[in-house]
Amino acid sequence: MKTLVITGASKGIGLATAKKFCDAGYRVINFSRSTPPDPRIESHEIDLTRQGVEEELSAILAMAIDTGEVCLVHNAACLLNDSVKDTDPEVLLDILRLNIVAPQMLNKSLIGKMQPGSSIIYIGSTLSEKAVANSFSYVTSKHGTVGMMRATCQDLAGSGIHTSCVCPGFTNTEMLRTHVGESQEILDSIAALSSFNRLIEANEIADTIYFASQNPVLNGAVIHANLGQIES
C-alpha cells in the first residue's frame, strides 16, 4: 500500500489533502497538535517545535514504515501578524522551527525508506515569491520553503523521488480567517484580488497536491495555485 505522511492535517488544507489521499487508497499518517476528524487518518499528536521531537518522530516512523512508495507532504505552518521592525528573534526562530526545520526532520527520517515513485511535496504560499507588510516571519520562512524544494530536487537527482512546491493563494481556511480577525469585509476584499473574485477552497489545493505527487515531470517546480491573482 502507498503511504502519505503529512503534517498539520487536523484542519484546512492538510485535512482536505489527507482525505483526498485516503479516498485514493493511501495509508495516511499525520503529525499535528490535534487529531483530525476522520478515523481513516493515523494521527500522532505532536508539537513539531518542541525540543527533542526529532527522536520521537524517528521512532514513530521507524515502527510505522519499512520501505515503499511514500508521499511526504510538508503542510504544517504558522502565520503571524509581525513586522521586521519589532519581531523578536526568538519568535522568528519558533516559526522557522515549524515551517523549515520540522520538514527537514521528516526528510531525514524518511528519504532512506522512500522507493522510486515517491514524492516530497512542500507547501509554500503566494508569499513564497513576493511579500506583503506585517507577515515578516511567514514570508521569510515561505521563501525558504521554495529554496528547500529546489535543493531537494538537486540532492535527490537519480533517486526516482520527485519534489515540487505548491503555493496556494488566499484559501478559505481557519488560518486565514484567524489572521484577518474573522472580518468578512477583509475576506471579501481579499477574494476580490483573485481573477475569479473568490477565495480558494481547501479541496482545490488538495487536488493540486495530489496531482503534483503523481507527476514526476513537475520535479523541481513551483506551482502557483491561486486562481490568478490580480496584481496592482
Per-residue pLDDT of the chain (232 residues; tens, 9 = 90+): 899 999 999 999 999 999 999 999 999 999 999 999 999 999 999 999 998 999 999 999 999 999 899 999 999 999 898 999 999 999 999 999 999 999 999 999 999 999 999 999 999 999 999 999 999 999 999 999 999 999 999 999 999 999 999 999 888 887 777 867 777 888 888 778 899 999 999 999 999 999 999 999 999 999 999 999 887 6
- How far CA 227 is from CA of 17, 67, 216, in Å, comes to 18, 37, 23
pLDDT score at 187: 83
Residue 180 in domain: no
pLDDT score at 185: 83
Residue 30 in domain: yes
Partners of 166 in the beta sheet? 123, 223
CATH number of 124's domain = 3.40.50.720
Contact 43, 9 (CB under 8 A): yes
Count the alpha carbons within 13 Å of 43 in the hemisphere toward its beta carbon: 22
Residue 195 in domain: no
Range of the domain at 24: 3-169+201-225
- How far CA 80 is from CA of 50, 141, 175, 180, in Å, comes to 19, 11, 10, 10
Contact 63, 109 (CB under 8 A): no
Contact 65, 3 (CB under 8 A): yes
Residue 196 in domain: no
Residue 99 in domain: yes
Which residue bears the cell 512546491?
Answer: 165
Residue 218 in domain: yes
pLDDT score at 152: 98
Count the alpha carbons within 13 Å of 172 in the hemisphere toward its beta carbon: 13
- pTM comes to 0.95
pLDDT score at 183: 75
SS3 74: strand
pLDDT score at 189: 81
Domains in the chain, number: 1
pLDDT score at 232: 65
